[in-house]
Amino acid sequence: MTEEKTYRVLVAAPTYLGKDYALDQYLRAYEAFTFSPRGLLLVDNTRDNGEYAAHLEKLGVPVRRVEPSMDFEETFTRCWRVILEEALVGEYEWVLSLESDVIGPPQLIVEMLSIADFVQAPFVTQCYPYHNKRLNEYYQGMGCVLMTTTLLQEAMSILDEPDSPWVGIVEASVYEIAKRNSHVSLATRIPLQHLDHPGGGAIPSWDWDEITDPRVVKV
């Protein structure tokens, strides 16, 4: 990263109560990041009338809340619209999508931004392990993606295009726009932790309960 360039990076992710077990480590990792200036935003979508968002706010965590619908992707999309809005209002040139159970080293932003700057790529992704080290495989989704706010804005705009394969799926739209530009995958170059739920490694499935889960059929 050239010294004469100064960027603002927003670290952001949708979250919910089911990932609270990782919150302390996530916040400590964020505070340890060496890059500055940066900001943080978590977008809560817990189905609890705002209780978890209020809890985060009390802890001093920058948080916005989205009322969840019965459709995960639709809810996830609205969370990312809030993140984009924050990035634009806060004049952040870059957004680091870092899921709230993914822990990165202090140099994470510096390294990813340096590579992006060196190859003039508006998109850099870093793989991270599945929960429980499943099959020793790694995942490349929205868990750790550095992208320009411009790229995110374009990705969110194509969600509204009719009859397109990426309609309503943020991850697909982000990667579609990345493919149209110079982009970099760091594979496992930067070590990341994907924190397992202490109850056995499996994270609670999103937000459903026996009343609101459409998969439950009562007889």
Predicted TM-score (pTM) of the model is: 0.88
Residue 208 lies in a domain: no
Residue 46 lies in a domain: yes
The answer to whether the CB of 66 falls within 8 A of the CB of 16 is no
Residue 91 lies in a domain: yes
Residue 4 lies in a domain: no
Task: List the alpha helices (DSSP H) in 38-148.
Answer: 51-58, 72-89, 108-119
Tens digit of pLDDT per residue, the chain (219 long)? Answer: 444 568 999 999 999 999 999 999 999 999 999 999 999 999 999 999 999 999 999 999 999 999 998 888 899 999 999 999 999 999 999 999 999 999 999 999 999 999 999 999 999 999 988 887 776 678 788 999 999 999 999 999 988 777 767 666 899 999 999 999 988 988 888 999 999 988 764 455 554 444 444 433 332
Residue 112 lies in a domain: yes
Residue 99 lies in a domain: yes
Here the tokens at position 214 are 């459409």
Residue 58 lies in a domain: yes
Whole domain around residue 15: which residue ranges?
9-194
Q: 4-29 burial, b if ≥16 CB within 10 A, otherwise e?
A: eeebbbbbbbbbbbbbbbbbeebbeb
Residue 203 lies in a domain: no
State the CATH number of the domain containing residue 183: 3.90.550.10
Domain count, the chain: 1
